[in-house]
Amino acid sequence: MATYKLLLLPGDGIGPEVMAEVKRLIGWLDAQGIATFETEEGLVGGASYDADKVSITDATMAKALAADAVLFGAVGGPKWDPVPYDVRPEAGLLRLRKDLGLYANLRPAICYPALAESSSLKRDLVEGLDIMIVRELTGGVYFGEPKTITDLGNGQKRAIDTQVYDTYEIERIARVAFDLARKRRNKLTSMEKRNVMKSGVLWHEVVTQIHQREYKDVALDHQLADSGGMQLVRRPKQFDVIVTDNLFGDMLSDIAAMLTGSLGMLPSASLGDIDPKTGKRRALYEPVHGSAPDIAGQGAANPIAMMASFGMALRYSFDMGDLADKLDAAIAAVLAKRLRTADLKSEGSTVVSTSQMGEAIVKEIQALHA
């Protein structure tokens, strides 16, 4: 049986609490001989800054490069607001994405039947929702240069962020999205702002060309990103796979999160290219939610997104799709029994702690695997 190398980076706030539930599941899988994982842990974000005055050390980065996959919790919090910009907690995550070459961010938005009432939209709009947002992750305005604040004198300053995309960056993210669409409902929607942004004009042009050359069998449509956001809350089930740039993907995936009932429900995968020599691709898996410092240490965090992120690792890094399906089924079964963490509580539900939710999910997967 293969042994998989996992680097665990719990991070800040609720990150260590939700990561503990993944460690519970990994421990059970190892003990049962279902899979074998060799795990290491490292510091990232504010925790790394407190220890080493950087958001991630070179040594931890080397461990990430050597791992088969990285599991990441969350970073940041008011405690680190005063630290220098280049060592802010979020810089650790940005370095991981950049140095690992993780250009494709997959963010599924699935509404479990038991949680349809938790959505801010009507049940009939979200029940059965299953969409995938594919976000370009290493280009665009978050990485473009120049990125400056200039003192103009007379009490005036000028801030500059730069939106930059090259053809190859758009081509490779489009291929990831088209390939996913082929495995789902064969429908892709590309979102940009070609009406006001030159990068949007190029994005539209390149996606259209890739479609014509390589993916004519996939239905493709284009939407302006602001209109797409409106449609996500108007008729979300019209979408299957959405591909978009870094900035719009960040915003649209958070909108999609609330369709499912809570940010605590959404996992994500960040993928690089497949290594032609090993057949593996570098990957990082993380929940979409933040570090939630206001509830850290209270045992109130929802671990489902973190556990589902591990499920995506099983699917995309370790070729354990059947086990990933069982984990998804276990989560659905626990929710059907009306167990809820505080973010999902509703009338008639039983509110449980982070560890109780994690334990319940592990028990369900045990039953499914028996």
Question: Which residues are part of a known binding site for Mg(2+)?
Answer: 226, 250, 254
Question: CA of 182: how far to CAs of 101, 258, 312, in Å?
Answer: 24, 26, 18
Question: CA of 6: how far to CAs of 21, 36, 71, 183, 197, in Å?
Answer: 15, 10, 7, 27, 40
Question: CA of 300: how far to CAs of 17, 81, 112, in Å?
Answer: 9, 24, 20
Report the amino acid identity of residue 178: F
| Interatomic CA distance for residues 257 and 305, integer angstroms | 11
Question: CA of 269: how far to CAs of 132, 138, 282, 286, in Å?
Answer: 11, 14, 11, 7
Question: Which residues are part of a known binding site for NAD(+)?
Answer: 77-90, 290-302
Question: Which residues are part of a known binding site for substrate?
Answer: 97, 107, 135, 226
Tell me if residue 221 is catalytic.
no
Tell me if residue 12 is catalytic.
no
Q: Which residue has the tokens 């699935």?
A: 110
Instruction: Answer for the pair 248, 197: CB distance below 8 angstroms, yes or no.
Output: no
Catalytically annotated residue among 254, 325, 345, 363 = 254
| Interatomic CA distance for residues 268 and 307, integer angstroms | 11
CA-CA-CA-CA torsion sign (345, 349, 350, 356): negative
| Interatomic CA distance for residues 155 and 188, integer angstroms | 48
Catalytically annotated residue among 52, 226, 325, 363 = 226
Strand segments (E) across 198-325:
219-224, 241-244, 267-274, 281-287
- What does the DSSP assignment read for 152-169? EETTEEEEE------HHH
Question: Which residues are part of a known binding site?
Answer: 77-90, 97, 107, 135, 226, 250, 254, 290-302
SS3 114: helix
Catalytically annotated residue among 4, 23, 49, 193 = 193
Catalytically annotated residue among 12, 245, 250, 343 = 250
Catalytically annotated residue among 49, 103, 112, 142 = 142
Residues 6+ apart with CB under 8 A from 128: 111, 113, 237
Number of helices (H) and strands (E), helices first, in the chain?
12, 14
Tell me if residue 226 is catalytic.
yes
**Active site residues per annotation:** 142, 193, 226, 250, 254
